[in-house]
Amino acid sequence: MHGMERVGVIGSGQMGGGIAQVAGVSGFDTVVFDVNASALDKCKGLHQKLLARAVEKGRMSQDDADAARKRIAYTDELGALRDSDIVIEAVVERADVKKDLFKDLSSVLSETAVFASNTSSISITDLATSVGDRADRFIGMHFFNPVPVMKLVEVINGLATSRETTDRVLSLSEAMGKTAVPANDRAGFVSNRILMPMINEAFYTWMEGVAEPEHIDEIMKLGMAHPMGPLRLADFIGLDTCVHIMDVMAEGLNNPRYRACPLLKQLVTAGRLGDKTKHGVFKY
Ligand SMILES: NC(=O)c1ccc[n+]([C@@H]2O[C@H](COP(=O)([O-])OP(=O)(O)OC[C@H]3O[C@@H](n4cnc5c(N)ncnc54)[C@H](O)[C@@H]3O)[C@@H](O)[C@H]2O)c1
């Protein structure tokens, strides 16, 4: 058993907002902390809208939606997380920002609380150094976007993560309605270690003129039963994020085979970042 009732979430953006929503709907008392008041407001508004829509579509009763709404609190004070049994961090993908937060958090949380990060590429072992002798209670919980829809949580063990912490977090993830799968802390974990080189190879295939981008995607969709082609997926993730994750893997796995494709880097230089700039591989 996970023995957790109160879930803290740091960051109310795309991922943190989704994690908080899932925790609240799954029956956990949830507190979301963000330094940005307008991000918190936006997150709260989105939760109201999504819960109302779930009731409208008959996916949830009005009582359950009201109860979920009451279970989620929004705050701009870190101290409000003090009673959390676990805090899941989902702020910007910067090791220094995350480490500062976890250091502050370690003087706020109880001795038994678990520290979790939703980082997609930063070393869990490295982040865990920020909580001193409590690194055995530090772990990665890698959720996927959009969190309420995607079933997977990749649970990442740092070098010092205890077996008990892993078991508690696997069990908590299941209680949040997810399928939790453990992995160890190597750059890219399992998901990006396999996905990103495939995306990178799609850019090489395009760069070398093997096929047009839309044909590359069509072949991978129809031939491999992928729901989205690799180039369309790269636009969705953000081409800058793809380059960043390849860089982290090239450095962390100490192997040049993970270097980002020159064409992928060139599109980023040109400001073509994908869906978020309305132009990446494709135009939107
Ligand atoms: N977007 C994805 O597809 C995805 C998938 C898996 C993991 N992740 C990881 O999740 C994390 C968050 O990504 P996102 O897409 O939700 O980002 P986002 O920009 O949507 O949200 C980040 C939020 O963190 C807040 N924040 C920044 N610094 C803070 C601080 N010091 N204290 C409290 N709040 C702070 C910001 O105000 C913002 O609301 C990143 O580590 C990212 O790598 C993202």
Cβ burial of 212 (10 Å; 0-12, 13-18, 19+) is exposed
**pLDDT tens, position by position, 61-102:** 999 999 999 999 999 999 999 999 999 999 999 999 999 999
Catalytic residue from among 84, 106, 117, 154: 154
Instruction: Tell me whether residue 192 is one of the annotated catalytic residues.
Output: yes
201: closest CA among 159, 128, 263? 263
| The two domains 6-184 and 192-277 share their CATH topology (first three levels equal) | no
Cβ burial of 163 (10 Å; 0-12, 13-18, 19+) is exposed
Catalytic residue from among 84, 106, 117, 120: 120
Query: Atom 11 (ligand 1): residue with closest C-alpha?
Result: 90
**Alpha-carbon distance 191 to 155, whole Å?**
11
From the CA of 18, give the closest atom in ligand 1.
16
Instruction: Tell me whether residue 77 is one of the annotated catalytic residues.
Output: no
Catalytic residue from among 142, 157, 173, 200: 142
**pLDDT tens, position by position, 5-51:** 999 999 999 999 999 999 999 999 999 999 999 999 999 999 999 99
Residue 227, preceding peptide bond in cis (omega within 30° of 0):
no
Domain 6-184 class? alpha beta
Which residues, listed in sequence order, are joined to residue 277 by a DSSP beta bridge? Answer: none
**pLDDT tens, position by position, 126-162:** 999 999 999 999 999 999 999 999 999 999 999 999 9
Write down how long the chain is.
Answer: 284
Catalytic residue from among 118, 121, 173, 192: 192
From the CA of 117, give the closest atom in ligand 1.
41
What is the pLDDT at residue 41? 98
Query: Atom 28 (ligand 1): residue with closest C-alpha?
Result: 91
Instruction: Answer for the pair 68, 25: CB distance below 8 angstroms, yes or no.
Output: yes
What is the pLDDT at residue 1? 75
The full set of domain ranges for the chain reads 6-184, 192-277
**pLDDT tens, position by position, 204-251:** 999 999 999 999 999 999 999 999 999 999 999 999 999 999 999 999
What is the pLDDT at residue 63? 96
Using a 6 Å CB cutoff, which residues line ligand 1?
10-16, 33-36, 39, 90-93, 97, 101, 118-120, 143-145
- State the fold for domain 192-277: N-(1-d-carboxylethyl)-l-norvaline Dehydrogenase; domain 2 (1.10.1040)
What is the pLDDT at residue 40? 98
**pLDDT tens, position by position, 102-125:** 999 999 999 999 999 999 999 999
What is the pLDDT at residue 2? 85
Dihedral Cα 189, 14, 246, 252, nearest 10 deg:
-50
What is the pLDDT at residue 107? 95
Instruction: Tell me whether residue 142 is one of the annotated catalytic residues.
Output: yes
CB atoms within 10 A of CB 103: 13
Instruction: Give the distance (Å) from ligand 1 centre to CA of residue 122.
Output: 13
Instruction: Give the distance (Å) from ligand 1 centre to CA of residue 16.
Output: 7
Query: Atom 7 (ligand 1): residue with closest C-alpha?
Result: 120
